[in-house]
Amino acid sequence: MKRVLIMVTALVILISAVLHLVAPVVSRLSMEGLMLVPAALIYGLLARAIWRGARWAQWLTLFVALFGIAVSVRGYLTAGAVPSWVYLQIIIADALAAGLLFVLLWGEAPAVKKAAKAS
């Protein structure tokens, strides 16, 4: 079950990466849209690491997603070259990723599992 959750989480993060790449296209290669390309690359690399089961990547991605939500809310609320619907989709994907990462990181702890098996 945990492997499926890891795969779904990585997929949601990959969707967020793709959405970051949509921004330059729909903004006609504006500077605001192009600034999201490095974030897309980071999200893509983190999704790959999470797919492979790297716990450090889960922690890092949680904070990256929360930061991404804050930045995207700012972009959503201000009129810019990137349409607000792109930012809204990024917010949704990052929030879903953060929720899934929360479940992965704070799910049943290994010590609890060992104690349950011992009794």
Distance separating alpha carbons of residues 14 and 20, to the nearest angstrom: 10
Total-model pTM? 0.87
Q: Which residue has the higher pLDDT, 32 or 112?
A: 32
pLDDT digits (tens, 9 = 90+) for 32-72: 999 999 999 999 999 999 999 999 999 999 999 999 999 99
Confidence (pLDDT) at 109:
59
- Residue 117, classified by CB atoms within 10 Å of its CB into exposed (0-12), middle (13-18) or buried (19+), is exposed
Distance linking the first and last C-alpha atoms of the chain? 23
